Structure 1
């Protein structure tokens, strides 16, 4: 009797195996969570090559990369804050103020190194204020950072009198320098992105940082000092904004109250396109940096096609919507197949 049952089991199992193998063979492999932004960047370059070949020349790319690097630094800081379920709207004021303070202190100290250190320290203090308002006093991040941004813009106007400030020659030389054929701003951006990636992904501090972003209450119960990590995210963000402001001022040759106007919404768009959710926790500074390059090339393409400012904003909005849709498409397909 046992022999008959085992034979029947073998008979049933044999035809089932090809079916299982066949069903597995048609399964589409899942892409990495943030890898699709690389695909989008390659497609954008292909479209640019066809629609506006002038944007793909060596000169055009080298002209675009310094601004893409600055945007990547701002997006890195914004990513760290969004990973903590926050939002830093003081980017405009911080980028503008950093350029002005670096320029003024550079001439005052007669040392660009002391000027950079002083500017970074000032940015750190602004980050502490932002982090304390949001984390300690429980003010909504949008409201708190907008208020701080207004104070920063007021400070810039007081320092400049609404007149652009010249930047010391050493800073201009640094911002326009090239190394191994790449603009210095790109190399600075690479350093910021890699440092942020290494800390958040490869260290115990980074693991606790992500844990706080995922669930602050659970992290606090586990003994993690939540307040320090949340304030630290705003400090890191302000330091990134300060560095971007100094590099931008050095590249342009002057600093003014409007210098940071183009580095708030595009940076947030880069974070969204890069796949970092506003729910906190997971995120990728590398994906945000790649998305910053995507945004810079997209802007250059739109300009080359002769579109006005309104069309540029419309294209940016469409890019954000498309990126959000594509990001959730694989999960939707898997859920659909599972239900079917």
Structure 2
């Protein structure tokens, strides 16, 4: 059976489950994660009366927008069995260059925004080259890239990033339409596009096939190296764009602006039901994981716990997700009448 066949079997199998009355693992997990998010939002009112309101929900969605975008790229890399630890540095790269090159003093140079994203994409291509051609483990390759970028950003800024937010990014992150932040509308469109790319395109199916069995995918004619490299490119572009979003939100850049997104980007993907070994996952579930983690963060902040405790909780959630989101558990949920 070919790798393309394997990818097709994965989707056809899910369809067979739906036709026979079963539900796919990804669907079950997405429902559970979104249900937990709703329960947490409603239950947060017991922590503080200000939580759980409509305005607080909009705040959570705005804060979750950064994690949703960056987790999409991380999810593609995880889907092929990789891991991108350069995300914090690429976020910083995108933010620093946006503030410095296209800031308020040079607002007319909007054309530099695609150039910055292209530069971030080259960083992803560098990661993909190291992983697929040089056979460097993803953990080592992306961590080395992160160190290189962080050092380059420090040298470029001399420790103090300069510039401000371009007007377009300020409009995206600070304005509202019909009482809803503009970035929420953007995230809805992004989620629809990301879901379609991951689940309804040949590229997405090839990523599933590479993650499930790279040798079979190669025999079937799938360019494993090209597909894997494109996953790292997409991750870097998403991270760079999150850097731009953060500049628009905070009206400036810092050298540590991406540090708080590495672990959450992995946690959102794992909580969303993706296998850390690759070959499975759903962007809809990842979105639910990002919203859940963001809601949890707001509750922790309301309680007054320090940031360190949030990291501890996120790590615990990853371990719990890896334990509970096992295939045999979902097999029983899909076929409750069987042992």
- Whether TM-score is above 0.5 comes out as yes
Q: CA RMSD in A?
A: 2.3
Q: Deviations 1:88-131 (Å, cap 9, x if unpaired)? A: 00011000110111122214864353121111111111110011
**Distance in 2, Cα, partners of 1:90 & 1:245:** 13
- Contact kept, 8 Å, 1:156 with 1:256, in 2: the verdict is no
Change (3 A) 1:324 1:46: farther
Shift of 1:234: 0.3
Match in the other structure for 1:42? 38
> Which structure has more helix as a fraction of its residues?
1
**Distance in 1, Cα, partners of 2:118 & 2:93:** 13
Change (3 A) 1:321 1:49: farther
Match of 1:156 among 149, 153, 157: 153
Match of 1:213 among 211, 214, 219: 211
**Distance in 1, Cα, partners of 2:109 & 2:42:** 41
| Aligned ranges 1:272-283 → 2 under 5 Å | 272-283=270-281
Match in the other structure for 2:90? 94
Change (3 A) 1:64 1:265: same
- Contact kept, 8 Å, 1:277 with 1:283, in 2: the verdict is yes
Shift of 1:54: 1.7
Match in the other structure for 2:269? 271
Q: Deviations 1:289-317 (Å, cap 9, x if unpaired)? A: 12111111100001111212232223223
Q: Deviations 1:214-244 (Å, cap 9, x if unpaired)? A: 1111111111111110000000001100111
TM-score, reference length from structure 1: 0.85
**Distance in 2, Cα, partners of 1:89 & 1:183:** 30
Higher mean displacement: 82-91 or 166-175: 166-175
Match in the other structure for 1:113? 110
Match of 2:79 among 68, 78, 83: 83
Match in the other structure for 2:230? 232
Match in the other structure for 1:179? 177
SS in structure 2 of the partner of residue 174 of structure 1: helix
Match in the other structure for 2:127? 130
Larger Rg: 1
Q: Which runs of 5+ in 1 are unaligned?
A: 1-27
- Contact kept, 8 Å, 2:77 with 2:232, in 1: the verdict is yes
Match in the other structure for 1:319? 317
Shift of 1:255: 0.6
Change (3 A) 1:50 1:333: farther
| Aligned ranges 1:293-304 → 2 under 5 Å | 293-304=291-302
SS in structure 1 of the partner of residue 193 of structure 2: helix
Shift of 1:326: 4.0
Higher mean displacement: 325-334 or 123-132: 325-334
**Distance in 2, Cα, partners of 1:327 & 1:39:** 16
**Distance in 2, Cα, partners of 1:175 & 1:112:** 19
**Distance in 2, Cα, partners of 1:59 & 1:33:** 29
- Contact kept, 8 Å, 1:97 with 1:245, in 2: the verdict is yes
The answer as to 2:132 corresponding to 1:143 is: no
**Distance in 2, Cα, partners of 1:112 & 1:263:** 28
Change (3 A) 1:112 1:63: farther
